[in-house]
Amino acid sequence: MARYLLDASALLAWIQREPGADVVDKALPEAAVSSVNLAEVGAKLSDFGVPARMLSAALDFEIEVISFDAQSAMEAGRLRSGTRRLGLSLGDRCCLATAKQYGLIALTTDRDWSSLNSKRVKVRVLR
């Protein structure tokens, strides 16, 4: 069972061995990723010039992928007004909504998320 939910930024930091990758290393055995955030990672790797044939290889590791469902979609929409001031993207809100739904700790590299810690959604900023 997962304990952590990786935001796209956390997963990219791990793939690219950026600061914070060591924290993701430790969390991976208990980590999951939302299907939305996995799509974000694939898009970003594509933007970086990773050829399509290599994308699946880059994302080929054992991690639970949580399908984004209607309940999380509604929560992501509700989060818009409370997170607009921080400039959170739709993908960010999808991660937070999924973490809330499943009671997971969201891991991210986005420092703006640190002000979001509450009883409802736990956040850990990696760097």
Looking only at Cα atoms, what is the longest distance across the chain? Answer: 42
Return the pLDDT at 3: 96
pLDDT given at position 1? 80
Question: Tens of pLDDT along the chain (127 residues)?
Answer: 899 999 999 999 998 899 999 999 999 999 999 999 999 998 998 898 887 667 676 667 788 999 999 999 999 999 998 888 899 999 999 999 999 999 999 999 999 898 876 667 899 999 8
The pLDDT value given to residue 84:
87
Please name each of the domains of the chain with its CATH number.
4-125 (3.40.50.1010)
How far is the C-alpha of 111 from the C-alpha of 21, rounded, in Å? 15
User: In the sheet where 105-108 sits, what is the strand order?
Assistant: 64-66, 31-34, 4-6, 105-108, 122-125
Tokens standing for residue 55:
């994308």
